[in-house]
């Protein structure tokens, strides 16, 4: 697909998330999607297929009491990849943390096939998301 087509997939994905949450966005993931989440916290790891994406979302909701937010700032695309530069935030145990997240994804046949997160302050994310486990 072209860069413009891939960018539209990403725009449509975020619009679906905004309007209908994760269930509305699920069609924008390839059936064999792979999500790689870095870190040393309970949500870190590799998630595969749609059920893995659901598990990741539930884990994040549980760890943050439903306070996790991701606001896209900039979306970039090429013929092979899309990149989301976003503002992330969550509140755990009364502590609110904000950070930037970059998500590098591949698009295959109009769907997100791989997603890899890069956090601007991994230590802060690890501390925040690990706070519930302490």
Structure-token pair, residue 125: 């994310």
**Cα→Cα distances 129→57, 75, 120, 125, Å:** 13, 26, 15, 6
- Confidence check: pLDDT of 133 > 50: no
Mean of per-residue pLDDT scores for the chain: 94
What local confidence, expressed as pLDDT, does residue 98 receive? 97
Strand 111-119 and strand 95-108: pairing? antiparallel
Residue ranges covered by each domain of the chain: 3-130
Fold topology of 3-130: Nuclear Transport Factor 2; Chain: A, (3.10.450)
Q: Evaluate whether 88 touches 98 at the Cβ level (below 8 Å).
A: yes
Express each pLDDT in 110-125 by its tens digit: 999 999 999 999 999 9
pTM, entire model: 0.91
- Confidence check: pLDDT of 127 > 60: yes
Tell me the pLDDT band of 1, cut-offs 50, 70 and 90. confident
């Amino acid at each position: 697909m072209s860069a413009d087509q891939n960018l539209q997939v990403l725009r449509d994905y975020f619009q679906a998330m905004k309007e209908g949450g994760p269930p509305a966005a699920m069609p924008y993931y390839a059936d064999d999607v792979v999500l790689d989440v870095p870190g040393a916290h309970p949500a870190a790891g590799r998630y595969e297929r749609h059920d893995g994406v659901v598990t990741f979302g539930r884990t994040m909701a549980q760890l943050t009491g439903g306070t996790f937010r991701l606001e896209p700032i900039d979306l970039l695309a090429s013929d092979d990849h899309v990149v989301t530069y976003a503002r992330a935030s969550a509140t755990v145990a009364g502590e609110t943390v904000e950070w930037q997240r970059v998500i590098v994804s591949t698009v295959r046949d109009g769907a997100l096939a791989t997603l890899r997160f890069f956090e601007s302050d991994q230590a802060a994310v690890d501390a925040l998301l690990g706070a519930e486990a302490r």
